[in-house]
Structure 1
Amino acid sequence: MVLRSVLLFVLAAVLEIGGAWLVWQGVREQRGLVWVGAGVLALGAYGFVAAFQPDPHFGRVLAAYGGVFIAGSLLWGVVADGFRPDRWDLTGAAVALIGVGLIMYAPR
């Protein structure tokens, strides 16, 4: 169950961050409407993927996903844009991922 949840978070991050990046590229880098359209489709798909999380509570899932988004965004920047996170970026991402673990997987 935890593995499924983690994989869904990773897929959601790829879709949401990737979708936002495609829109950014289409608008800010003037790559055109095809890029924007692909981004909008990816962002829509993100919403569906998030709905498949095993936890039934929307607020918990989206709050936890916020931590995945933080870490995933930094990683995306490294891979796609040559961004170099500093120690504070990495520390913040680690804290956020610890939060994900507490929110989603702590025993209740």
Structure 2
Amino acid sequence: MTVARSLLLFVIAALAEIGGAWLVWQGVREQRGLVWVGAGVIALGLYGFVATFQPDPNFGRILAAYGGVFVAGSLIWGMVVDKFQPDRWDVIGSAICLVGVLVIMYAPRP
């Protein structure tokens, strides 16, 4: 159950961080205004809190592993929200990152 909880927390963190960054992008680059930017800042702050609920006590490990989730999640967000079409290298790269997440977070340790 701990692995399932951890994976769920990574998904929630990705939604908060990627969504927050997207909102800021929309507010600034697409000129949608400060309400979008403010919502993005709040979502980015929520991301920081979600990471603290990971069961592993090591900040560096959590953030390193989350980096791989962020890579794959960003491509998925782009596909769903912005109709981005990743090429095979995007897919291969994100798959490598997700394998890295599994190794960093869930490899057996003494």
Q: After TM superposition, is the score higher than 0.5?
A: yes
Alignment: residue pair count: 108
Residue 13 (structure 1) shift: 0.1
2:19 is aligned to 18
Structure 2: gaps spanning 5 or more residues: none
2:51 is aligned to 50
Residue 87 (structure 1) shift: 0.4
Note the 1:1-108 alignment, pairs <5 A: 1-108=2-109
Residue 59 (structure 1) shift: 0.2
TM-score (norm 2): 0.98
How far apart, CA to CA, are the structure 1 residues paired with 2:69 and 2:105? 11
How far apart, CA to CA, are the structure 2 residues paired with 1:48 and 1:81? 27
Residue 107 (structure 1) shift: 0.3
SS across alignment from 2:94: helix
Moved over 4 A (4+): none
How far apart, CA to CA, are the structure 2 residues paired with 1:61 and 1:36? 26
